[in-house]
Structures are given as C-alpha cells and as structure tokens.
Amino acid sequence: MSFIRAASKVAQQVLLAPGCSCEPLYVSARCISFSPRQVTSDASFHSVSFSETDHPKVLITGGLGQLGVGLAKLLRKQFGNNNVILSDIRKPPNDVFHSGPFIYSDILDYKNLREIVVNNRITWLVHYSALLSAVGEANVTLARDVNITGLHNILDIAVEHGLRLFVPSTIGAFGPTSPRNPTPDLCIQRPRTIYGVSKVHAELMGEYYHHRYGLDFRCLRYPGIISADSQPGGGTTDYAVQIFHDAIKTGKFVCNLKPDTRLPMMFIDDCLRATLEVMEAPAEMLSMRTYNINAMSFTPEELAQEVQKQLPDLEVSYEIDPVRQAIADSWPMNFEDSNARKDWGWKHEYDLAELVQMMLNFIGSDSRVAHVN
C-alpha cells in the first residue's frame, strides 16, 4: 500500500523565515491510517539496504545552517563526494554549490522530499531543518510548521523507505524543572520555548516510530555549538560565537547574557564527529535512541577571560536580553553524557583553551585575508 496524499491542500500559507528568501510552505492533509511498514514494496528500489562494505547515500536537510555544510564536508571525505547531498530552500553560496551535490528541498513539501529520496536512492537522512530558540520565540507559527510539521514528513518518509534517520536535539529540550547540574539523559524535561517543545516532540516521536515501526532513529542532544565558519543564527548560545568576531574586528564585545550564566558547549568539530560516530554505531550498541553529549561548560565571564589571555585589550560589557536570559536560565548548566561514552565510545577532543585558540586562529586568518582583498 502506498502513502495516500490528500488531493487538495487544506491550508496554504506563504511564510518568510528570517534571513531566507520567500518560499511557499504547504501544510497538507494526508491519510496515515495504515502501518508505514506496509509501504515498503511501493517502489522497485527504494527499500534496498546497504551492506557494511557499501557507502550510505546521505541527504542533509537544512544544509545551509550552522552544521550542514561542515557535516557534508566530513561525510564526503568518509563516503565520497557524490554520496552526500546538501539541501535547503535557500540559494547556496558559490563555494558550497561547487563543493558537491546540492538540491532544493522544502521539508513541508512531502512530494518533493519523497521524490528526492526515491530518485537519489537515499539511505541516511540527517534532518537539520529547524528554527532555533530566539528566532522561534519571535515567530512561533513558523517554528511550529518547520520544527513539527516538517518533522512529521521526515518521519513518514524515513519509515516508508527504510532510512536511517538522525534528528538533533538540544539543551533547549529541558526546562526550569529539569535537574540542571548535571542534567542526565532521562529526567523531567518540560521546556518553555517552542524550539524546546518541538525537540522533545521529535525525541518522543522518533523513539515511538522506532518501537512501533522499527525506524532506525538516532538522536543526540547537542550543547551550544561553537563554529568559526558560520555567523550566529538566532540561538541563545550565539554569544559564544559572536565574541570571537567582535574581539578581532572591533576589540569590543557586548554580551546579552549575564556573566555567570553557565551552559554546556562544544566545538563544532567534536559535534560533527559525534554525529558521524553515532550514525555508524551498530544498532546493538545503542541502549537508547536519544543521548546527551558534552565537552565543556562555561560562563560568558569565563569565556571572556580565556579570550583576553590572547587578546588582552578586549573590552567586554553586558546588556542583558531578558528573552534570551530567561531561556538560558531554564537550560542545563552541564550535561551528563556517560551513556554515550559507555555505549558507543563518545569522547570529546576540545576543551575551553583549545576552543578559544582554534576560533581565534580561524577567524583571525579569515579577517586578515578579507582585509588584504
């Protein structure tokens, strides 16, 4: 039995995401009164699995965000350039477009997604499309559509075509009643942002589909991710990226969180490696489907002091954003990630000092090149 998609749209809304071109996002009715397991004979080749000696064929949604380009680069080194497809609703920059396969993909367009998976014989799907915490609070309707409705399309397609599915979660999946220092894998969550609510929804739906339909669902709760090759994208932890850009360009940094706000953080290289490792881990090694991962935990004041060891003239001031501060105060101060370390051998490589050195080296060299040009 194949999926039956409603012939008429029950709702059609044109939504504009901050920083994105205007794209029509469709919310469609669909019939899902059957088991997704019944659809695996729908196409002649879509359910073909790959052996341990074959490379997966990977689709990354939301590929132009903070993590997608970096993950594509890592996976292409591992599996071959043409086996990893980046997708987004935005036009890619030239370097991304010429670095490997890129296609348009709107996660709210089920038919478009299904055609991509079938035509490209996708076996792994990495679902990075999401609106982050602060942006989501500014546009709850759009966040609900992208983060929840889009996820439902991804889950249905992953089950229909027997995909291995990775959906990231976040420190934002916890709330003010969660244990904060440390926060274990299993505890009360109850977040108070649409971003956090949608991520808890993703965790639970993914685990449900795993137990109900056998979906190979894998999820990591990322801490704040710090990377030098992307601009801050509307997250509460973005101060930990912005400080490096401002330190090099102006020598002055205004932080929108209190100086003693402690949050778990991770350098992007560790994050991307963890994602690859959990996707490659044999299923029998996974005692759960959603894991915390952690590397370090610091405050804005501690980060500023570490940066000032390298740039002693940096001036730091604080202008607190009440929305972001309230979000940060509800999040974990430190992640407990012993299950990831025990089950599939997770181990971070970068601590605070190494993180600061890497960020300053990268942004500093990039800034010098731009100045020369």
Which among 189, 208, 219 has a CA at the least distance from the CA of 290? 219
Structure-token match 């929804």, residue found: 201
Tokens of 122: 């996708």
> What's the CA gap between 42 and 208, in Å, rounded?
23
Tokens of 358: 């890497």
Examine the residue annotation and report whether 208 is marked as an active-site residue of this protein: no
Tokens of 299: 């405050």
> What's the CA gap between 163 and 149, in Å, rounded?
19
> What's the CA gap between 62 and 294, in Å, rounded?
23
Q: Helices 352-372 and 239-249: crossing angle, nearest 10°?
A: 50
Element (H, E) at 301: helix 300-310
Q: What is the CA radius of gyration of the chain?
A: 21
Backbone angles phi, psi at 68, to 5 degrees: -60, -45
At 70 the three-state DSSP class reads helix
DSSP annotation of 335? B
At 102 the three-state DSSP class reads strand
**What secondary structure does DSSP assign to 191-225, as a single string?**
-SSHHHHHHHHHHHHHHHHHHHH--EEEEEEE-EE
Of 26, 110, 128, 195, the active-site residue reads 195
> What's the CA gap between 286 and 49, in Å, rounded?
20
Tokens of 208: 């449900």
At 11 the three-state DSSP class reads strand
Q: Helices 352-372 and 300-310: crossing angle, nearest 10°?
A: 60
For residues 321, 266, 125, 115, the Cα torsion angle rounded to the nearest 10 degrees is 40
Backbone angles phi, psi at 216, to 5 degrees: -85, 80
Among all residues, which ones are annotated catalytic?
195
